[in-house]
Amino acid sequence: MVRRRVGSEIGAIIIGGLILLVGGYHLLVNWFGLELPELDWDKIWPLGLVALGLAIVLGAWSRMGRGGQGPQGV
């Protein structure tokens, strides 16, 4: 039985989603000329750090066995 790494998938989804959101925003504003609210990067970049930290914690948590005993089979 092959065990999948859920933590790395969660991290990839979160980081990929953030990149898609920022890229989509810039595409809509610069290419299509939509009037969207201006992004305040001083408030946005910490959200990226929180998302990355959350992905790391969830990945580690998913690899733990029942009761926090570590990975299964160890």
Cβ–Cβ under 8 Å, residues 30 and 67: no
Place of tokens 């920022």: 22
Question: Does the global pTM surpass 0.85?
Answer: no
Q: Where are the domains of the chain?
A: 6-62
Q: Say how far apart CA 72 and CA 55 lie, in whole Å.
A: 20
Position 9 pLDDT exceeds 80 = no
Paired tokens of 64: 């733990």
What's the gap between Cα 39 and its chain centre? 19
Q: Which residue type, as a one-letter code, is found at position 32?
A: F
pLDDT at 3: 55
pLDDT at residue 73 above 70? no
* For residues 35-48, average pLDDT: 81
d(CA 46, CA 65): 31
